[in-house]
Structures are given as C-alpha cells and as structure tokens.
Amino acid sequence: MRILVFGAGPLGSLFAARLQQGGHEVVLLARGQRLKDLRQHGVVLKNWSTGEEEEIRVDLIEKLNSDDRYDLILVIMRKNSALKILPILAENHSPKVLFLMNNAAGPGALMDALGAERVLIGFPGAAGYKEESKIVYINAEPEQPAVINLGLPGGGTSDELENIAAELEKGRYLETEIQENMDAWSKYHVGLLFPSLAPAAYLCNYDRLRMSKTRDAIVLAIRAMKEGFRVLRKLGYPVTPKKFKQLLLIPEPILVAFVSKLIKNPRMDIAMMRHARVIRDEIQQLNAEFMLLVEQSGIFTPTIHFLIREFDRKAPALPEGSRSIRMDWSAIILAVSFIMITGLLIALLV
C-alpha cells in the first residue's frame, strides 16, 4: 500500500517508520528543520523503556500536490493543526484520509471539506516526544504494540475499512481495533483527559509525582471526568469503550487511590505530562469543543467549568499535597450499610 503520513511530529514519524518496516511504500511530509533532520538522519526512534535506537529511512516530501496519488493518507497531528490543512487535502484526490487525533466536535468539518466517502477517523494509541532529532516513544514496541482505533465517521464498519485495518496491522508492532462508533469513542476519550486530567495536571505543574500526592487535583480530575461522561450520555452517546462505565460506578475514594497510583507510573511522563506541557493550544481547542457539548446537554458541570477557567487564566499551581476538598464517601457508606442490614436480616431469619 502506498501511504502518505501527513505530519512529521513524534507520532507521525513513529508510524511512518513502523509502516515502512511492515513493507508499505511510505512517504512522510515534513517541513523546515524537521525536514532537514530527516534528510540527514532518517527517522531515528529511541525506545523509552530500553534506550535502544533504530534508524529508518523513509521517502520525504515537503508539499502535497493536487495530482499526487496515495492509497491512504494518514493525518497524525493536533486537531487545531489538522483543521488548517483541510483545504490542501481537499485539493488532492487520494481516496481515503484517516485522521488519527483527538476530536470532540465530531467528523462534520472533515466530511464537509473532503466528502464523507473519503474520511476515516481514529486514534493512534502511542506517545512520544522529540529529543533533538530523535523520537523517544512508548508503544509500537515488541512488549506493547500501538493499538490504532479506527472507524467510519457515520459508525458501523465496511469491507473497505476492514481491509485498511488489515493493511495497517502489517506495520511493525501495530495493531488495529475497529470501533463501531468511533465518534463516541473519541468524545469519551476527550472527556477523560482534556476538561479533566489535563488542567488538573497543569495545576500540579505537569509533575506526576506532585500530582500523585495532591489529592485535591485528583478529586477534581475524577469529578470532571464523571461530569463529562454524564454530558455525553445525556446527548445519547453510548459509553465507549464499555470499560469506562466502571468509572461512573466506582466510589470516589477508591478511584482517587487508583488514579494516584496510576499517575506515579514513570510512563505517565511520556504518555501525558510531557505532551500536555506543549499542547496548550490543542487543549484549549478540545475544551472549547467539549463545552459546546456541555451547553447542548444542559448538564450542570461545576468542576469542568472550574478546571477550564483555571487552565485558561494560567492560575497558580495547587499547593503540593493539598487535601482540602472532602471526598464523597456516600457510595461506600451505602454499600457498607446495605451489607450490614442484609447480614442483620439474614441473622434474624435464621
């Protein structure tokens, strides 16, 4: 398959290399200093876990012309950047364009620009950052393949989509998962991270250890997640993936302990903290998109409003270790009371 990867940032470079290693004819579009680095060094990948480095040579272009032809174009970049290149993609007539990115607004703008029949949507399932000319990455590695979630903008699946998924899986250490409702998946993913965890991390100076010890930040993030999920359910979007339903059911104190432990994991530096530190523009774009959903739903979201306001005004960080917000113990109290009453009734009836 002849594939153009539009976007030579960390993930664009990573996926171009992995698809090239899988036998595809890959072309990577790059500009400026990044293009110079790629011409000199190729795509240099550095495994974050092991420090092992690879150099992969990929064909390069600086511009997509209207008459260039590819079987598939992968757009791997920030949402706000992807919107800017839609006119360029519209002038080209390659049959399929797969947008791998965060998106809360849905595929409407993409379909309006390119035509619904050309658009696929998805998410890349990897993380990385640039270290001089190298790409330091997690996932897309032997122990942890990158899982590309993808789907049709209108939902469902098709033979063509399944064929594209199979072609992508030929890439080294890449797997795919077709989502029947990729738009809902994307919205829940944004709700999980951007009006919640991202501004809470900002209030901890993007320091994972500081955040893991600052209970107030984690409580705020969890409450914002739950508010966001209630918004999406009210608007009729099914909880996707289904495992996210657990976040709505687990009592707050248990979730706080779980998230605190998760944030401590060193992989969170590259999976979230480093990335969030440099994408303020995308966070604001996605939060603005999500707030439109909040307005449509009519759901009261005080925590989301607070976190977005603090993020937008560049508020000072929370005191490290802050624990001033009372956790909600009601679910645990109800569960314990139910168990005690049930036990008492059983004892009386025996």
Extract the tokens encoding 59. Answer: 């064909």
pLDDT at 330: 83
Whether residue 305 is contained in a domain is answered as yes
Domain enclosing residue 174, as ranges: 2-180
Beta strands across the sheet bearing 97-100: 59-61, 25-29, 2-6, 72-75, 97-100, 119-123, 146-151, 174-178
Do 98 and 136 share a domain, yes or no? Answer: yes
User: Given CA atoms 316, 319, 321, 327 in this order, what sign does their dihedral have?
Assistant: negative
Do 170 and 130 share a domain, yes or no? Answer: yes
Do 55 and 144 share a domain, yes or no? Answer: yes
CATH at residue 10: 3.40.50.720
Whether residue 347 is contained in a domain is answered as no
Whether residue 343 is contained in a domain is answered as no
Do 174 and 294 share a domain, yes or no? Answer: no
Do 6 and 106 share a domain, yes or no? Answer: yes
Do 158 and 29 share a domain, yes or no? Answer: yes
Do 138 and 227 share a domain, yes or no? Answer: no
State the total domains in the chain. 2
Q: Of the candidates 180, 215, 241, which is a domain's last residue?
A: 180
Whether residue 345 is contained in a domain is answered as no
pLDDT at 147: 98
For residues 170 and 164, the answer to whether their CB atoms sit within 8 Å is no
Whether residue 344 is contained in a domain is answered as no
Question: pLDDT tens across 213-265, in order?
Answer: 999 999 999 999 999 999 999 999 999 999 998 888 899 999 999 999 999 99
Which regions of the chain are under pLDDT 50? 335-338, 344-345
Q: Which of 57, 62, 60 is nearest to 42 (CA)?
A: 57
Do 44 and 171 share a domain, yes or no? Answer: yes
d(CA 222, CA 228): 10
Whether residue 341 is contained in a domain is answered as no
Which residues are CB-contacts of 299 (< 8 A; sequence separation ≥ 6)? 227, 230, 231, 234
Whether residue 350 is contained in a domain is answered as no
CATH at residue 292: 1.10.1040
Residue type, 120: L
Do 208 and 163 share a domain, yes or no? Answer: no
Do 194 and 162 share a domain, yes or no? Answer: no
pTM of the model: 0.93
Do 216 and 267 share a domain, yes or no? Answer: yes
